[in-house]
Structure 1
Amino acid sequence: MEQHVIRPVRAEEWQKVKEFRLDALRDPVAPMAFLETLEQASAQPDSFWQERARRAAEGVQVKQFVAEDAGGRWDGSVSVFVEAQGDADFFGRVIPENQGHVVGVFVRPGQRGSGLTDALFEAALQWMWSLEEPVLSRARLFVHEGNERAGGFYRRFGFRASGLVVPKPGDASAKELEYLYPRPAAA
Structure 2
Amino acid sequence: MADHQRNAPRPDFLDKPTLTGERVLLRPVTVDDVPALLPMFRDAGTSRLTGSHDGGETDEARIRGWYDTRRDQDDRLDLAVVERATGQVVGEAVLNEWDPSNESCGFRICLVPGTRGRGLGTEATRLIVGHGFERLGLHRVSLEVYAVNPRARRVYEKAGFVAEGVLRDALLWEGERVDATVMSILAPERFRHRGRPESAGHPRI
Distance 1:73 1:127 in 2: 22
The TM-score with structure 2 as length reference comes to: 0.65
Distance 2:171 2:61 in 1: 22
Tell me how far 1:124 sits from its aligned partner.
0.4
Tell me how far 1:175 sits from its aligned partner.
2.6
Structure 1 unaligned segments of length 5 or more: list them: 87-96
Task: State whether structure 2 residue 184 is matched by structure 1 residue 180.
Answer: yes
Computed over aligned residues only, the root mean square deviation of the Cα atoms, in angstroms, reads 3.1
Distance 1:141 1:184 in 2: 18
Match of 2:154? 152
Match of 2:140? 138
Task: State whether structure 2 residue 72 is matched by structure 1 residue 72.
Answer: no
Distance 1:174 1:49 in 2: 30
Mapping of residues 1-187 of structure 1, within 5 Å? 4-10=23-29, 13-16=30-33, 18-25=34-41, 26=43, 28-35=45-52, 36-39=54-57, 42=60, 44=62, 46-51=64-69, 53-55=70-72, 60-84=75-99, 97-106=102-111, 108-109=113-114, 111-132=115-136, 135-165=137-167, 167-168=170-171, 173-184=177-188, 186=191
Tell me how far 1:78 sits from its aligned partner.
1.4
Match of 2:202? none
Rg (Cα) greater in structure: 2
Which 4+ runs in 1 deviate beyond 4 A?
A: 40-43, 169-172
**Structure 1 counterpart of 2:171, one-letter code:** K
Structure 2 unaligned segments of length 5 or more: list them: 1-21, 193-205
Q: Structure 1, residues 77-116: CA drift from partner, whole Å, max 9, x if none? A: 3111152156xxxxxxxxxx3213111322542x433221
Tell me how far 1:161 sits from its aligned partner.
1.2
CA contact (8 A) 1:143 1:150 kept: yes
Distance 1:60 1:83 in 2: 6
The TM-score with structure 1 as length reference comes to: 0.70
Relative to structure 1, is the Cα distance of residues 145 and 115 closer, same or farther in structure 2, using a 3 angstrom cutoff?
same
Relative to structure 1, is the Cα distance of residues 106 and 41 closer, same or farther in structure 2, using a 3 angstrom cutoff?
farther
Q: Structure 1, residues 129-175: CA drift from partner, whole Å, max 9, x if none? A: 1344xx31111111111111111222232211111416238878233
Relative to structure 1, is the Cα distance of residues 48 and 75 closer, same or farther in structure 2, using a 3 angstrom cutoff?
closer
Distance 2:24 2:61 in 1: 30
